[in-house]
């Protein structure tokens, strides 16, 4: 799925790009409202994450133009404007959802999944099945057959990242960014400890976690 981020904060834009790319989205980005509108008008994007306060053209004007042209694009407003009247204006102008800053990436991901279900957008299924393992992206849980595995948040995120990006090698540094963002660091030893713990939990339930270690490169789940 192709997604466009129109956001003037460089650090937030980069963080969103990394997180969403790791979840399997094809992501383009811009900091400018006018350029963002031009990109959105190509009709290439199924989802747009849109800030309101932008250089050159504000987000509400971008949204109005998208809706005037009747593009079948889902738009999620991501804004620091938190007053009820701001939310109402955004939704009445045609936004499909409105999320205020600061926000959690997990909530953003959940809202995007919800928009995809409502709009029938083509994306990876909410459930990724490998052998007798089933990862539910909506409920954020891993099952072995009918047994729910009690993963910690970081164990789950590692599994989610690699299951959602089969056949791609992720270095410890990329996994660290996915887990903690670009300003924090999770050591390779910590990642190995999370993986070891997750493997043991899955094995006890009668499964085998299909995450392989490529020495010197990182971690991978080989797709079917």
Instruction: Express each pLDDT in 50-79 by its tens digit.
Output: 999 999 999 999 999 999 888 889 999 999
> What pLDDT band is residue 2 in, cutting at 50, 70 and 90?
confident
Are 170 and 219 in contact by the 8 Å Cβ rule? The answer is: yes
Taken in order 192, 195, 199, 200, the sign of the CA dihedral is positive
Structural fold of domain 127-221: Arc Repressor Mutant, subunit A (1.10.10)
Radius of gyration of the chain (CA): 19
Instruction: Express each pLDDT in 87-121 by its tens digit.
Output: 999 999 999 999 999 998 989 988 988 888 776 55
Tokens representing 7 are 């956001």
* pLDDT for 71: 81
Tokens representing 158 are 């590692």
- What is the mean pLDDT of the segment spanning 3-7? 96
Q: What is the distance between the alpha carbons of residues 177 and 88, in angstroms, rounded to a whole number?
A: 34
Instruction: Name the residue with higher pLDDT: 138 or 11.
Output: 11
> What pLDDT band is residue 224 in, cutting at 50, 70 and 90?
low
Instruction: Express each pLDDT in 149-206 by its tens digit.
Output: 999 989 998 998 898 888 888 888 888 877 776 556 788 899 999 999 999 999 999 9
What sections of 94-171 are H helices per DSSP? 105-119, 153-164
Q: Indicate the domain borders of the chain.
A: 2-119, 127-221
- What is the mean pLDDT of the segment spanning 14-24? 87
- Architecture of the domain spanning 2-119: 3-Layer(aba) Sandwich (3.40)
> What pLDDT band is residue 223 in, cutting at 50, 70 and 90?
low
Q: Which of 116, 121, 193, 194 is nearest to 160 (CA)?
A: 194
Q: Is the pTM of this model over 0.75?
A: no
């Amino acid at each position: 799925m192709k997604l466009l981020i129109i956001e003037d904060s460089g650090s937030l834009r980069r963080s969103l790009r990394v997180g969403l790319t790791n979840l399997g989205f094809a992501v383009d980005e811009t900091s400018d409202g006018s350029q963002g509108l031009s990109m959105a008008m190509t009709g290439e994007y199924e989802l747009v994450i849109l800030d309101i306060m932008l250089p050159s053209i504000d987000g509400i004007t971008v949204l109005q133009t998208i809706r005037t042209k009747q593009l079948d694009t889902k738009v999620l407003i991501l804004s620091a404007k938190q007053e009820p009247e701001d939310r109402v204006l955004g939704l009445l102008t045609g936004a499909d959802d409105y999320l205020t800053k600061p926000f959690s990436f997990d909530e953003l991901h959940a809202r995007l999944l919800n928009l995809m279900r409502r709009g029938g957008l083509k994306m990876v299924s909410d459930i990724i099945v490998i052998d007798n393992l089933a990862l539910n992206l909506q409920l954020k849980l891993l099952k072995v057959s009918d047994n729910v595995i009690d993963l910690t948040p970081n164990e789950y995120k590692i599994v989610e990242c690699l299951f959602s990006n089969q056949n791609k090698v992720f270095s410890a540094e990329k996994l660290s960014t996915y887990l903690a963002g670009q300003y924090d660091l999770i050591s390779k030893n910590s990642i190995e400890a999370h993986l070891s713990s997750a493997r043991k939990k899955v094995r006890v339930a009668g499964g085998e976690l299909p995450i392989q270690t490529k020495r010197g490169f990182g971690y991978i789940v080989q797709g079917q």
